[in-house]
Amino acid sequence: EGLEASGRRIRELVLREMEAGTPSHRVLVGGFSQGGATALFAGLGAGFPFPLAGLLACSAYLPMGAAGFGLSPHSRFTPVLQVHGAED
């Protein structure tokens, strides 16, 4: 429930930016640790029907594995940068 609720919140924030005139393909979503996992979940998930400028995940994991949730058709074109430190 927590991850899905956070993903919905991210989608709401992107929608608000779009309503203010920013096209979704100019929006980058990112985070550190759990925030990065949430960004990946929200930006790649099937509930996100918009192309994004990209996703950034620092010291994060892909929640529920690559096959654990449906991928958005737009996500195959979304650039993703996922980085880890030597101790992660």
Query: pLDDT per residue over 10-25, tens digit each?
Result: 999 999 999 999 999 9
How high is the pLDDT of residue 73?
A: 82
Low-confidence ranges of the chain (pLDDT < 70): 1, 65-69, 88
How high is the pLDDT of residue 48?
A: 76
Specify whether the CB–CB gap between 39 and 65 falls below 8 A. Answer: no
How high is the pLDDT of residue 19?
A: 96
Tokens at residue 26, please? 């100019």
> What is d(CA 18, CA 25) in angstroms, rounded to the nearest whole number?
10
What is the pTM for the complete model shown?
0.86
